Amino acid sequence: MAKMQTAAPAAPVMDEAELAEMRRLIFDAPIAELAESQGISIDEAVKLRVEKNLEAAEVPIEVTVRPIERMGKTMGFASVNIGGMVVDDFRVIDGKNGVFLGMPSKPDPTSRTGYRSTARVMDRHLQERLDAAAAQGYTQAVEKLIARAEALRPAPIREQMAEATREADKSNAARPAPTKGKEARDDR
């Protein structure tokens, strides 16, 4: 007997005007209007508005990276500030799909790998934002280190010699010219 597969019911398709009206009701309209239009109580309308506002709110993320000399695929360590909460000891890893953050972990002899994660990211969108911020933070940290190294690096010998020649020419131009003749020889 062949099994028949039924398609899952598709989500109702809304045009732009309906979406704009729904956004207006959820974010801008009075609670009573939202409750009336959705056929729900005031308490349910308040809960709906809070949930939708939380979903729409972007949590500020700041990643501070400390580049290190590469150890395998590990390129550095990072601290992540997520809306005022700081989590340290993320590893910045150069994977086959690009730079990403490895979660902080601690030794655990009972686990299969010998380590246990101390932080987890459950939302894929948040993980993607963290990875993008880590890549950007790593690039900025490396550029800052390169600029600092170049500022501290002494000039090449040719530039040093050219600068010394300019200084000597300037110093010699400021001196009075030696006098020629018998008077100059008598001072010996």
Q: Give 17-37 pLDDT, tens digit per residue.
A: 888 888 888 888 888 888 888
Q: Give 40-70 pLDDT, tens digit per residue.
A: 988 998 888 888 887 777 778 899 999 999 9
C-alpha dihedral (11, 15, 16, 22), degrees to nearest 10: -60
Beta bridge partners of 106: 116
CA–CA separation, 24 and 45 (whole Å)? 13
Beta bridge partners of 107: 115
**Is the whole-model pTM more than 0.85?**
no
CA–CA separation, 141 and 13 (whole Å)? 46
Residues 6+ apart with CB under 8 A from 142: 67
